[in-house]
Amino acid sequence: MTNLTQKQLDSHWMAYTGNRQFKQDPRIITKASGAYYTDDKGRKIFDGLSGLWTCGLGHNVAEINEAVAEQIKTLDYSPAFQFGHEKSFQLSEKITEFLPTELNRVFFTGSGSESVDTALKVARAYWRKKGMGTKTKFIGRAKGYHGAGISGFSVGGIPANRTLYGQGLDSYHLPHTQVPGTEFTNGMAKQGAERADDLLNLITMHDASNIAAVIVEPMSGSAGVIVPPQGYLERLREICDQHNILLIFDEVITGFGRMGGDCGAIEFGVTPDVMTMAKQITNGAIPLGAVAFKQEIYDTFMEHGGPEYMLELPHGYTYSAHPVACAAGLASLEKIRSENLIARVKEMSGYFGDAVHSLRSSSTLITDIRNYGFAAGITLAAPDGEPAKRPFQVAMDMWEKGFYVRFGGDTIQLAPPFITESEEIDRLIDALSDSFHKLA
């Protein structure tokens, strides 16, 4: 049992946690190193989701630890507004090395949610600067996740995150791309690109003169790994271009290697106008988010910025470009490059994908398996009205056996660290197979 006192347990309202259930049997993690956590009972637990899609390099990374320690001693904080420090410029350049060349202006935030908020605000302001201030609505996608802010849940399409909080931003949603008949596809499905054409219906309904931007995850992560069908993102790009609508890729999960490419845009060969990022930039060690813009967007703000003492974009956060976070980011991205880890993910993604799909035979309750790079989602048939029940049972059983996997909705999510060995994939899959068998 935990060493925490009841008073301590009763003081904390935990994020995205079943607090009532958790407090009866708290799962407390005390340490992490490489691909493993240690819990308060001294058990070693394989990190099957790289933290929250954050820690592709594994945990306790010496280079990041050293960079953080050094930075805290040298410059622990500098005002984010009207001052700079060298690391934020160095990290901006470094980040652009992982993006399509057109995305060359980086704005820093403290999280993925703030990155999404920034992207949406800039999209609206951009059209105003161009004299098209009626372009204020946003188009998201069913099942999309874009963070916990009011803007994020508005464009997001996960019902539980939308229904509780009432009125959000003026947003409309494309259908998701889990198309019947494409279940158990390994990688990208051949059918489903036509679902992008629903954007044309939304444009007919609301008129492009009222729409600021379309925001999608190139591959939906939190919804349970929904891989774009072949040609889908290209089609979205084409329609946005034809109708003067900005295309935003939310790459908070897909950026920096998870897909076996530098980012989703490069991996899928479609360049958005704006890209949001977070998580893997610092390997999760220190909170940091970023948004990259095309030069033309930046230039529009500079051209219409008014007198030079004025702010071209009155927007930012106390922790924008935090020096310690930037130091962690530089160390993380340098290590991803120097150890060629993205190529490693690409190389091993076939092995991982085949292993995940081998689970199909472990239970008739499995209704779909999807995967790309080092990410996979396994969907389970839902007992009446309780889609999360079985995934929850599987995740708990896995935890008991020493594996951390995440459940969300009717799906189990997997995203092992980039450093995972094939034997570790085998053990993860064997343990899952056993948990699925137990369900029946």
DSSP-derived 3-state class of residue 228: coil
User: x/- string (CB under 6 A) for ligand PMP, residues 191-220?
Assistant: --------------------------x---
122-143 b/e (C-beta count within 10 Å ≥ 16 → b): bbbbbbebeeeeebbbbbbbbb
Tokens, residue 194: 């036509």
Q: Is 374 in the site for ligand PMP (CB under 6 A)?
A: no
Under DSSP, is residue 377 helix (H, G, I), strand (E, B) or coil?
A: strand
Indicate the Cα dihedral angle 182, 258, 349, 377, nearest 10°: -40
Residues 6+ apart with CB under 8 A from 354: 186
In this complex, which beta carbon is closest to ligand PMP, that of residue 112 or of residue 409? 112
Least gap, CB of 438 to ligand PMP (angstroms): 29
Asked if residue 222 binds ligand PMP (CB under 6 A), the reply is yes
Token digits of residue 343 = 């190529």
Complex with ligand PMP: residue 203 or 223, whichever CB lies closer: 223
How many whole angstroms separate alpha carbon 428 and alpha carbon 351?
Answer: 13
Q: Least CB distance from residue 204 to ligand PMP, whole Å?
A: 28
For the segment 228-247, give every residue that binds ligand PMP (CB under 6 A): none
Counting contacts by CB under 6 A, is residue 113 touching ligand PMP?
A: yes
Q: Which of 91, 253, 324, 331 binds ligand PMP (CB under 6 A)?
A: 253
Q: Which is nearer to ligand PMP, 322 or 357 (CB)?
A: 322
Token output for 181: 């008949």
Across-strand partners of 39?
29
Q: Taking CB under 6 A as the rule, does residue 112 contact ligand PMP?
A: yes
Look-up: residue for tokens 């003081």?
Answer: 11
Interface residue with ligand PMP, options 50, 88, 111, 280 (CB under 6 A) = 111
Instruction: For the CB of residue 382, give the shortest distance to ligand PMP in the complex, in Å.
Output: 22
Our finding on whether 322 is near ligand PMP (CB under 6 A) is no
Site string for ligand PMP, 144-183 (x = CB under 6 A): -xxxx-----------------------------------
221 or 387, CB closer to ligand PMP? 221
Residue 327: count other Cβ atoms within 10 Å of its Cβ.
Answer: 28
Task: Report yes or no: 212 and 128 within 8 Å, Cβ to Cβ.
Answer: no
Cβ burial of 312 (10 Å; 0-12, 13-18, 19+) is middle
CA distances from 81 to 65, 157, 288, 340 (A): 27, 34, 16, 35
Residue 254 beta carbon to ligand PMP: minimum distance, rounded to whole angstroms? 8
Binding region for ligand PMP (CB under 6 A) out of 18-26, 112-120, 240-248, 296-304: 112-120
Task: Give the residue with the Cβ less far from ligand PMP, 290 or 345.
Answer: 290
Residue closest to ligand PMP (Cβ): 112
Q: Where are the alpha helices (DSSP H) in 207-322?
A: 232-242, 264-268, 295-303
- Least distance (Å) between residue 130 CB and ligand PMP: 26
Q: Is the dihedral of CA 72, 54, 217, 395 positive or negative?
A: negative
Helix (H) or strand (E) holding 154: helix 150-155
User: Which window, 56-64, 87-95, 250-258, 296-304, contacts ligand PMP (CB under 6 A)?
Assistant: 250-258
CB of 112 to ligand PMP, least distance (A): 2
Backbone angles phi, psi at 48, to 5 degrees: -75, 0
**Minimum distance between the CB of residue 183 and ligand PMP, rounded to whole angstroms?**
23
From 105-113, 196-204, 385-393, 404-412, span contacting ligand PMP (CB under 6 A)? 105-113
Contact set for ligand PMP, span 277-296 (CB under 6 A): 278
- Can you tell me which of 95, 99, 106, 116 binds ligand PMP, judged by CB under 6 A? 116
Phi, then psi, of 243 in degrees rounded to 5:
-115, 15
Q: Is 50 in the site for ligand PMP (CB under 6 A)?
A: no
**Sign of the torsion formed by the C-alpha atoms of 21, 283, 428 and 39:** negative
Enumerate binding residues for ligand PMP (CB under 6 A). 111-113, 116, 145-148, 217, 221-222, 250, 252-253, 278
